[in-house]
């Protein structure tokens, strides 16, 4: 894999990990609200289950990044980014991941495109 494409994958992976951290922070927030009796046990468990599912899906995508094959014309880094984004979005559909995971991929793609332009 050419250096620029390899760097693209590394940046994308870092951003996926950062999204995991954001979800963990949200889970901590909900836990504090539950402990302060601001939300019911039912709401806490539902939110927690959804957030854990999202983290699990993002972790799987991090593993799947290794299987992505960049386009043959690896001189166009934006085309490579688009290819990577489509690859990950196809996995979201294939494995029936929550819709928010697709949104995370879109946001990361936008952010990474600003890095590399």
Query: How far apart are the C-alpha atoms of 39 and 54, rounded to whole Å?
Result: 21
pLDDT tens, residue by residue, 1-23: 568 888 889 999 999 999 999 99
Q: Does residue 110 register a pLDDT over 60?
A: yes
pLDDT tens, residue by residue, 40-53: 999 999 999 999 99
Query: How far apart are the C-alpha atoms of 93 and 31, rounded to whole Å?
Result: 30
Average pLDDT over residues 35-40: 96
- Domain borders along the chain are 3-116
């Amino acid at each position: 894999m050419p250096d620029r494409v390899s760097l693209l994958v590394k940046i994308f992976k870092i951003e996926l990990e950062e999204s995991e951290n954001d979800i963990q922070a949200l889970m901590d927030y909900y836990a504090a609200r539950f402990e302060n009796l601001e939300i019911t046990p039912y709401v806490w468990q539902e939110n927690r289950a959804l957030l854990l599912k999202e983290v699990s899906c993002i972790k799987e995508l991090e593993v799947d990044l290794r299987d992505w094959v960049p386009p043959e014309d690896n001189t166009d880094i934006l085309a490579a980014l688009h290819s990577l984004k489509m690859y990950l979005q196809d996995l979201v559909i294939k494995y029936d991941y929550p819709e928010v995971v697709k949104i995370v991929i879109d946001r990361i793609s936008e952010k990474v495109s600003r890095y590399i332009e």
